[in-house]
Structures are given as C-alpha cells and as structure tokens.
Amino acid sequence: MKQFSYIDIFAGCGGLSLGLHNAGWEGLFAIEKSKDAFATLKYNLIEKRKHFCWNEWLPQKEHDINEVIRVYKKELEELAGKVNLVVGGPPCQGFSMAGQRKKNDIRNELSESYIEFISIVKPKMLIFENVQGFTIGFKDEKENKGVPFSKILKEKLECLGYSVEGKMIDISEFGVPQKRNRFIMVGVLEGNPHEFFEILYKNKKKFLEVKGLKEKI
C-alpha cells in the first residue's frame, strides 16, 4: 500500500478520484451505487489509467455503501488505520436549495452510512463534500430552524477522535467555469484541519498560473 492511499465513497463518475490521481495518490477502491456512473469511473480510471490498486475481495462493479458495510465488514475492519484518506459526500438532492429540499429524503440518511464507514476504516484523514444546503437546518412545522446536518456530522466525527473543520468554498475561484458554492469538511486524527484551507488558498494563485487560468473564471 502506497503512502498516499485513499478510498472514494459516493464516488459518482470519479471526479474526486481523477483529482487525486492527478495529484499522485493511489486509489484502493471506489463505492458508487449508480451503474452508469460507475461504468464511467471504471472506463476512465480502472481500464484506461490503471489508477486503482483494487482490493481483490470487492468486485469491480457498482455497490450500495450499506451493502458493502454489511457484506464486507470484516475486510473493512482489516483496513483500519492503514488508509490515509477517505473522500466523498452523500447524495445532495435532499439538501440542495435548488431542488425540493426534503428533510425526510431517504438519501439524507446516507450521512449515517458515511459515519459508520469512517468508524470502521478509521482513515488518518477525511474530506467530505456537499452542497451549501447541508449547512442549513431544516425548518419544522412551526418554522423553527433545526440543527444543520453539517453540525451533526462534525460532532459525530469528533466523537470518533477527529479534529474537524468545514468551510464554504466558491469553486469558481479555483479554475472551474461555474459559480458554485461547495461545503468542504476536513477531518484529521493528527494535526490541524485548518491547515488544509490555509494551503488551499496559499497555493491558489500559483495553481491557476500553471494551468493558464485567470483568478476569476
């Protein structure tokens, strides 16, 4: 296992994995429920780039994260403390301000699956990504705003021993031709998660210059 190893959960078609591939990391495996999205990830990052050092016990196909936890819990437990990073964020549709935003959307429960996965694998670091609505509490019948899922997630990760910090990031400041705010949460077992964001902004200008991009897209 390489020094910079990671697992991508709720991987979609592999956007985060592609970024980590370009940064020199090695993927152990990815978990994605959508058959079409996983087929895209598999074509680009497994068949074309040979990016993943795929664990033999997990079939290279689409998977529901809860099924992986249930069927392969023993194998996941054997990875505990050996993985540098877990990345990914549960589906955003139930939280998104652009959609119907339903508190009882069954996909919102996948945040608990994320916590359970982290509690089993115990990576040294984690990066969680979601929409801005994840930081805004749902209102009850009396229009009282509830506790944001971001706060609940932070508290549960801290109970697992992680130091955690989350920030809203405007990704158009980093070369993406789309004004889109994203909630990024970083957790570490050792160190200060604030340093992640310091490094991110410190290197922003140089990164854009290397890519031949303007500071605002």
CA 166 – CA 130 distance, rounded (Å): 11
Contacts of 108 (CB under 8 A, 6+ apart): 90, 94, 95, 102, 149
The alpha carbon of residue 28 and the mean position of all alpha carbons in its chain are separated, in whole angstroms, by: 15
Catalytic machinery residues: 92
CA 24 – CA 84 distance, rounded (Å): 13
